Amino acid sequence: MSVKELITVPDDILRKISEPINTLQVNEKKLIKDLFDTMYHHNGIGLAAVQVGILKRIIVLDVSKNDNEKKPLCFINPEIKKLSKKMSTYEEGCLSIPNTFLEIERPEICTLSYIDENGDKKEMECDGLLSTCLQHEINHLDGKLIIDYLSKIKKDLIIKKLSKQKTSNRVIV
């Protein structure tokens, strides 16, 4: 088991665009395992590789609420093909933005193509929490965060608050 350190706002790496994966090799498989370990350890339901500081287009998810019945899902190079006009709203949190929950409106249904952890090309249509989560994580791969859905004033306030929290733990001796 390997739990990685989470990268949080305002770290600049969270704003970078992640690179597509060409071949699935030992390194990527190890990374996928680490992402699952890290996500479960922090009780998250989704995690993108960039959140542990690695700019690769890999996402892990588990939106099952039952601890006894885990449903781990891995998406490599996910690409959104279609979004519904109908919208839905969830209160979203993010492992990279501690103690912040925001109501975000997103298309309710999304269709995407991706590569699974075995290297197989897949396509799927999803709705509900899975759709919201996938869109949230794909945003991470493109350097976009939930605070970007806010007005600039509100966004700056949150960044300022989180920056202060960070420095308040810093001790210089």
State residue 8 phi and psi, 5-degree precision: -125, 165
**Counting contacts by CB under 5 A, is residue 50 touching Ni ion?**
no
Nearer to Ni ion, 120 or 148 (CB): 148
Q: Is 113 helix (H, G, I), strand (E, B) or coil?
A: strand
Residue nearer to Ni ion on the CB measure, 94 or 115:
94
* Residues contacting residue 134 through CB under 8 Å, at least 6 positions apart: 46, 59, 61, 75, 78, 110, 112, 126
Q: What is the nearest approach in angstroms of Ni ion to the Cβ of residue 64?
A: 18
Report the C-alpha gap between 4 and 91 in whole angstroms: 26
Give residue number: closest CB to Ni ion.
94
Kindly state the smallest distance separating residue 65's Cβ from Ni ion, in Å.
18
Alpha helices by DSSP H, 64-127: none
* Nearer residue to Ni ion within complex by CB, 77 or 96: 96
Name which of residues 72 to 101 contact Ni ion (CB under 5 A): 94
Q: Is 138 in the site for Ni ion (CB under 5 A)?
A: no
Total residues contacting Ni ion by CB under 5 A comes to 1
Q: What dihedral do alpha carbons 65, 126, 61, 158 form, nearest 10°?
A: -90
Residues taking part in catalysis: 137
Closest distance between Ni ion and the C-beta of residue 106, in Å?
13
Residues at the interface with Ni ion (CB under 5 A): 94
